[in-house]
A and B are shown apart, each in its own frame.
Chain A
Amino acid sequence: MWSQRFEMKQKIYCPDIMCESCNKVIERALAKLQGIQSYIFREDSVDVEFDESLIKVEQIMGAIREKGYRASLEPLGKKRIKERAKEFLHDKQKYQIEYQMLRNITVTFLLLLVLDALFIYYKGRTEPTAFSNYGWWLLYLTVAVVTVAGAIWHFKAYKAQYTCMVGMMIGMTLGMQTGIMFGAILGATNGFFVGALVGMIMGVGVGAYCGSCCGVMGIMEGMMAGVMGGTMGPMITLMMFNDRVLWFMPLFMFFNVAILIGLSYMIFEEVVEGNNEVVRKPWGLAVFLGGCGIVLAVLLLIILLTPPSIFVA
């Protein structure tokens, strides 16, 4: 009987190979397999020649993975969004913090609507059109509170070392988003002065607090973004007063929340995934709910006590 030799050449990507010892560990794993003819170690892969009738490439990759190294036929870069979305739906353990964030946001949002209802009721006693004047703005305000708080909660749930690059990104993004969302909403309800003041103070506060994870540079970038966002926000709503601002707001809020989601995604990918040194220390739901409640209550008081804008008067 003639035995056929099916010679296969295959490049297997192993991004975790760091030194000679790693090579040797894999060499020993390959030496135990039948059918391997030769192999060459390259910078991030192993080029293997083997007899396909004796061994399959999946078995070779399995032997490598058993030793703790990733092995794949494709170069392993970042996970594509679709892959991660699938993983997110299935691996509740890996994404436990993220699931907790979504739970916190949902529960808090529903409970905060009670505060909004109280506001409308109180305003409604002197202003029969309170609901139609303030309804949308209160909704956007509540969305802004829980999404910004959620993003901050998520960021703070992981204790890790932040590079300047990442810290700056976090400070800038959270500072800008806080400033622009609260600035826009408070500008619409109570005019440019109040809107810009609230937006800027909140934006600078959040930006500096979150950017501080990487030092002065992060604080500075966070503050800068807070000033920019906080002052730009009221400009948007007030200048659009005569031009369908209520049609604009849903899309505006959608993009801003998407940016916050993107930030949380980035934090997970850059800082958390694959990092053995990261520690999970999330704040509890009570803290989250309490914090959001206080912030919303203060903002509602500001809306009540400062002169209303032409929008809502």
Chain B
Amino acid sequence: MEATFKIKGMHCKSCKALVEDVLLDIGVKIVSLTVDETKKEGTLKVNTILKPEELTKTLKEETGYVVTKI
């Protein structure tokens, strides 16, 4: 099931690497992940069976970023 999220706090290439790393570990397929370095915000599109609340919780725990579903 496809879902899109906004991630607040991403400001560099390694922030992207971190999110990719976490998602890889929990087996979530990334459709796209783009980072706006000036706005310090990332847009994440995924295809997963996980519930959105689970995803946002895991991401926040592992990365510290605030994740909201859009």
Residues of A within 8 A of B (CB): 18-22, 24-25, 28, 67-68
Contacts and interface: CB of A to CB of B under 8 A. Distances in A.
A161 to B, nearest CB: 18
A24 B12 contact: no
B14 A21 contact: yes
B50 interface: no
8 contacts: A21-B12, A21-B14, A22-B14, A24-B62, A24-B64, A28-B18, A28-B62, A68-B17
Given A24-B18, A25-B18, A28-B21, A18 B64 contact: no
A78 B26 CA distance: 39
Contacts of A24: 18, 62-64
Interface majority SS (helix, strand, loop, mixed), chain A: helix
Contacts of B64: 20, 24
A25 B12 contact: no
B33 interface: no
Contact of B12 (A19, A28, A67): A19
Interface centre among A19, A21, A24, A68 (most CB of B within 10 A): A21
Contacts of A22: 14
B11 A25 contact: no
B3 interface: no
Contacts of A21: 10, 12, 14-15, 17-18, 63
Contacts of A18: 12, 14
B11 A19 contact: yes
Interface in B19-59: 21-22, 25
Nearest to B10: A21
A25 B22 CA distance: 9
Contacts of A25: 14, 17-18, 21
Contacts of B15: 19, 21
B54 to A, nearest CB: 18
A24 B12 CA distance: 13
Contacts of B11: 19
Nearest to B20: A25
Nearest to A32: B25
A15 B12 CA distance: 16
Max count, chain A CB within 10 A of own CB: residue among B15, B25, B64: B15
Nearest to B15: A21
Contacts of A68: 17
Contacts of A67: 17, 21
Most buried by A among B14, B21, B62: B14
A55 B6 CA distance: 39
Contacts of B14: 18-19, 21-22, 25
B17 A28 contact: no
Given A18-B12, A28-B22, A67-B17, 7 more contacts: A20-B64, A21-B18, A22-B14, A24-B62, A25-B21, A28-B62, A67-B21
Contacts of A28: 18, 21-22, 25, 62
